[in-house]
Amino acid sequence: MSSLRSWLVVGVVAAASVVGGAEAWAQSRNLWLLHGQSTVTTGYFYSGENIWAECDVDCYDVDLVLYDANGRVVDADELRDDYPIVQAPYEGNFSVKVIMYNCTHAAGCGVSMDSDYGF
């Protein structure tokens, strides 16, 4: 596994995995967001696949909103916590919006994203 981290830009950690008999590249995403900031990332997810995020110690509320290929919201976790989880309702391409609602550090907070099979 190779690792590339940068807290100013999206970092990518890639590892090969086997999904459904074919090799797929699993990737987690490491983001750096300021209080009130959001970003969107995309991925191909399988039916029932969980997508989650978790914050560093200076973050108390981060949310995820899952959009289908047509831009419709298909799942969202907007609870007041630092570990949101959404689930793909079917197999396909999706966009995931990450929203930093509560980051107490003036320089921003780190958020790690991943899914059951990576994206």
pLDDT tens, residue by residue, 28-51: 889 899 999 999 999 999 999 999
- What is the average per-residue pLDDT within 88-116? 95
pLDDT at 23 > cutoff 90: no
- Determine phi and psi for 115, rounding to 5 degrees: -145, 175
Q: Residue 51 in contact with residue 115, Cβ under 8 Å?
A: yes
26 or 29: whose pLDDT is higher? 29
User: All domains of the chain, ordered by start, with CATH?
Assistant: 2-115 (2.60.120.380)
Cα-based distances in Å from 18 to 15, 23, 25, 100: 10, 5, 8, 32
Q: What is the pLDDT of residue 5?
A: 32
What digits encode the pLDDT tens for the residues 74-89?
Answer: 999 999 999 999 999 9
